[in-house]
Structure 1
Amino acid sequence: MIKTASFAVVHFSVAFGVAFALTGSVVIGGLVALVEPFVNTIAYHFHEKVWERIRARRVAKVTAGSNGPAIAA
């Protein structure tokens, strides 16, 4: 949990730092630091759904392509 919390602090700090460097505004930097992780979390959710579908298709393709184990006569 400590590692996750420290990464969150790094993430917010980087988002704030980049937005502040680009705009010179503490307010905009703060808004980006708060909004970006929220939007990124939603995007990650849909990213995972897409990859789960890809995995499922691969498994179905492998399963459909096999006729079971070969038995030597």
Structure 2
Amino acid sequence: MNKTITFAILHFSVAFSVTYLLTGSVVIGGTVALIEPAINTVVFYFHEKVWRKLERHSNDTISA
């Protein structure tokens, strides 16, 4: 759990820092730092579902 928490902090920090450096806005940096990881989490969920389906299909093809 500690690794997950520190990764989340790192992710938020990078998202904020990059956006702040590009825009100079603390508000926009903070907004992106909150929204981007949340969207990324949802996208990752679907990525994993597709990946598992592809792995199952690949395993079925190899077994046949």
Provide the TM-score with structure 1 as the length reference.
Answer: 0.81
Q: Over the residues paired in the alignment, what is the CA RMSD in angstroms? A: 0.9
Gaps of 5+ in 2: none
Amino acid at match of 1:49: K
Which of the pair has the greater relative contact order for Cα pairs under 8 Å at 6+ separation? 2
Show structure 1 runs of 5+ residues with no match: 65-73
Partner of 2:37: 37
Q: How many residues align?
A: 64
TM-score (norm 2): 0.91
Q: Which residue of 2 aligns with 1:19?
A: 19
Q: Which is helix-richer, 1 or 2?
A: 2
**Structure (1 or 2) with the larger CA radius of gyration:** 1
Kindly state the Cα deviation for residue 40 of structure 1 after the two structures are TM-superposed. Answer: 0.3
| Identity value in percent | 55
